[in-house]
Amino acid sequence: MARQELARFLRERRAGLRPEAAGLAVAGTLRRTPGLRREEVAELAHMSVDYYTRLEQARGPRPSDRILDALAEVLRLTPAERGHLFRLAGSTAPPAPSAVRRVRPQVARMLERLPQTAAIVTDAAYGVVAWNPLARALLGADLGRGTANLARRRFLEQWRLPASSGTEEFGHVVVARLRRSADRYPHDPRLTALLAELHSGSEEFRQLWQAHPVHAPGHRTKTVDHPTAGRLRLNCDVLLVPEDDQEVVLITADPGSPTERALRALGEPGRRVNSPGRSA
């Protein structure tokens, strides 16, 4: 156990986390401590202040995996930082309890700067956690409820999807990613429930799952018959947010093409990004 390094890591992460990001109400409160106070971390992590203080002073005993997981959650650590925390404590990090469903502010702001691009962010279970107005106009108004899941749409709600030349390929992509996610997050209840729903509701999903497809995100071009914009030739590119196991999907059209003009017409004047799970 690297006590000094662990203590410094905890102090730095505590000082760098704004109280409101941890769900604490601080309006009108004078605070002389940058970030969270020790007692606030201890309370949120359900441990004694004395125990947490000793960890920060490099005097504490080796923390259990339960304590480390609680600290990782309170301090909003990324998967990479969580693994580092466990290593400093002389432990091996078990699989993360669940996929990250908060979108980073800088990622959400990037979507705001793409007025001619339909952009969404999906978590490891294909839940849509952020989107911009053009994506909602292109992919459906139910994005606005913050409950859209592209895997469920593909296999159980195909009536929501316009006819597309990439439907079959996307099914393989979805199953490949969900298989990876099932290995990474075996204790995520929402992912477990989604997989059970897909297995029980789709013979196609069951067959693909047994086939173990392997697909990596990248560039794809597909043709979509949109109910109001007509036939669109779209470019789909995926950017990874590896720290959160999320993907940013960018949907564009070739410059000067009829599809580009159609996308421009679909765009809304207010270009605020929606992200019900946006992290602070």
87's enclosing H/E stretch is helix 79-88
Domain termination residue (choose one: 39, 62, 88): 88
pLDDT band at 159 (very low <50, low <70, confident <90, very high): low
- What is the spatial distance between Cα 270 and Cα 112, in angstroms, rounded to a whole number? 10
- What is the spatial distance between Cα 259 and Cα 255, in angstroms, rounded to a whole number? 9
Q: Is residue 260 part of a domain?
A: yes
Does residue 110 sit in the same domain as residue 82? no
Q: Which residues contact 147 (CB under 8 A, 6 or more apart)?
A: none
- What is the spatial distance between Cα 176 and Cα 140, in angstroms, rounded to a whole number? 24
Residue-range definition of the domain harbouring residue 199: 105-266
The three-class DSSP label of residue 205 is helix
Q: Is residue 95 part of a domain?
A: no
Full-model pTM: 0.67
Task: Write out the two tokens for 5.
Answer: 């390094």
Q: Kindly report, residue by residue over 194-238, the tens digit of the pLDDT.
A: 999 999 999 999 999 999 998 877 788 999 998 888 999 999 999
Does residue 117 sit in the same domain as residue 230? yes
- What is the spatial distance between Cα 188 and Cα 93, in angstroms, rounded to a whole number? 16
Q: Is residue 271 part of a domain?
A: no
Does residue 237 sit in the same domain as residue 210? yes
Q: Is residue 93 part of a domain?
A: no
Does residue 126 sit in the same domain as residue 13? no
Task: Write out the two tokens for 204.
Answer: 């196609």
